[in-house]
Amino acid sequence: MATFFEGESHTFSEYLLVPGYSSAENIPANVSLKTPLVKFRRGEEPALSLNIPMVSAIMQSVSGVDMGVALAIEGGLAFIYGNQTPESEAAMVKAVKDHKAGFVESDSTLTPDMTMEQVMELKARTGHSTMPVTDDGSSRGKLLGIVTSRDYRPSRDDHQKKVREFMTPREKLIVGDKDITLKKANDVIWDNKLNALPVVDENDHLMGIVFRKDYDQHKSNPNELLDANKRYMVGAGINTRDYAERVPLLVEAGADVLCIDSSEGFSEWQKRTIEWVRANYGDSVKIGAGNVVDGDGFRFLADCGADFVKVGIGGGSICITRETKGIGRGQASAVIDVCRARDKYYEETGVYVPVCSDGGIVYDYHMTLALAMGADFMMLGRYFARFDESPTERVNVNGQYMKEYWGEGSARARNWQRYDQGGASKLGFVEGVDSYVPYAGSLKEGVGQTIYKIKSTMCNCGAKTIKELQEKARLTLVSSTSIVEGGAHDVVVKDSQHSVSYR
């Protein structure tokens, strides 16, 4: 006879935290959200940690270069999507690794033959007034000059005037060489009263620009997630099909950690993939695996040598796996069960394998719940898709700004490798939808707010670290009527926006 799990499977919304004793020490400023990213032995430090417990989903509509940089600045990590050629994925990884903190790649570059009218159009579009001039108009072309708003007067000048006539030419520019540090670049900016310093390589090709304001911003990002060479850390998704071809390119590009992206990870395909990585790279390449939803699945992947294990089937906001295939488990129950197995594994082997809760986070407080239930960090799709830094278009739908967000199992993404069970190379049926999510501005602001909420709740539980939260948290299941009690009720809410806003 089949196995029946005890009890029902629950989602995050069915739980609440019951506050514990908090001392005067329990203030958000004293809370650290540092958390292990990869496995480690008892008494040792993990080789890689996150400064905030958030990673972005391995999805076309979520994790590109901008997400990689923006999330590393806040202390988290993006997993660049694998549903593209190995070459283009590696190029994205490399772009994040090459992105020097404070060194900006120009998004408004001119050629000398462009007109003042075109300059004004570009400025209106990008909002940027400092524009380098290169031979081919690309951000990596040979530097010929620079245009700032001090170089032309739209009210007096002929709008057809060519850039070459009013730019500050290369010979009059102060530039930084390719090895200049951010600190030195800032000194040059100050000493010469500049607003921006172009940085060029040995052939005078533009590499980036350092802006006065970015240096200040860099100083005010104490959580930045950097590798040993002070480059941003970034992860990359792989599949169980083309790893022999893909992994070497990603490693070469500098990926700090890989993750097998699969809707169902309790499989021989994952074992083979991890074995291949170990045979070729030993422990030097870190690789997470998943997704699983119970202790058996966890133990299997831990025994295979996974560096972390990802949990969640069917809970993603765009995911319809449970409806189409009837497999999955409520995300809270899955996390609790897997984390129990993780703790048991740690007791038995002395190896701690971090657990990532993937999908199904709707409200910020769900993240605190996931951590309290034992997760070490969360993977989020919908949450990050809402920000400027996700790779999709911002569109106006019936007067409201939205960002597009589609599942990897949708007809739009057609990521058959993610759903592959060794069959034909195509997506047999869809397991995801194409959707909109309400636009939510900059990642920095959104993540800042979320982090503050998590820290505040941790204070209510008397915890200054995630580990302490996991030890001290007291959780209760809630009935459907008490969920109603938890929202505004029996009043007429004046600001109806509140009831649908992101809590």
Q: Which residues are catalytic?
A: 319, 418
Does residue 102 bind ligand RVP (CB under 6 A)?
Answer: no
What tokens appear for 439 in the block?
């636009």
Does residue 382 bind ligand RVP (CB under 6 A)?
Answer: yes
Phi and psi dihedrals of 409, rounded to 5? -100, 10
Find the residue with minimal CB distance to ligand RVP. 432
Question: Among the candidate windows 97-105, 366-374, 406-414, 443-451, which touches ligand RVP by CB under 6 A?
Answer: 406-414
Does residue 86 bind ligand RVP (CB under 6 A)?
Answer: no
- Name which position in 408, 435, 439, 458 contacts ligand RVP (CB under 6 A): 408
What tokens appear for 7 in the block?
């009890």
Does residue 380 bind ligand RVP (CB under 6 A)?
Answer: yes
Distance CA 390, CA 59 (A): 10
Between 253 and 379, CB nearer to ligand RVP: 379
The residue whose two tokens read 């391995």 is 58
Stretch 274-333 residues interacting with ligand RVP (CB under 6 A) = 312, 316-319, 321
Question: Among the candidate windows 124-132, 231-239, 242-250, 381-389, which touches ligand RVP by CB under 6 A?
Answer: 381-389
- Name which position in 68, 86, 132, 359 contacts ligand RVP (CB under 6 A): 359
Give the per-residue contact string, 19-58, with ligand RVP (x = CB under 6 A; - = no): --------------------------------------x-
Residue 156 CB, shortest distance to ligand RVP, in Å, is: 53
Residue 63 CB, shortest distance to ligand RVP, in Å, is: 9
The residue length of the chain stands at 503
Does residue 237 bind ligand RVP (CB under 6 A)?
Answer: no
10 Å CB burial of residue 381 (0-12, 13-18, 19+) is buried
> CA 199, 201, 204: angle at the middle one, nearest 5?
90
- Order of strands, edge to edge, in the sheet holding 131-134? 131-134, 143-147, 168-169
Give the per-residue SS3 of 183-217: HHHHHHHHHCCCCEEEEECCCCEEEEEEEHHHHHH
DSSP string, 127-162: ----EEEESSSSTTSBEEEEE-GGG--TTTS-TT-B
Question: Total residues contacting ligand RVP (rule CB under 6 A)?
Answer: 23
Distance CA 10, CA 386 (A): 26
Between 81 and 103, CB nearer to ligand RVP: 81
Binding residues for ligand RVP, rule: CB under 6 A, are: 57, 59, 312, 316-319, 321, 358-361, 379-383, 407-410, 431-432
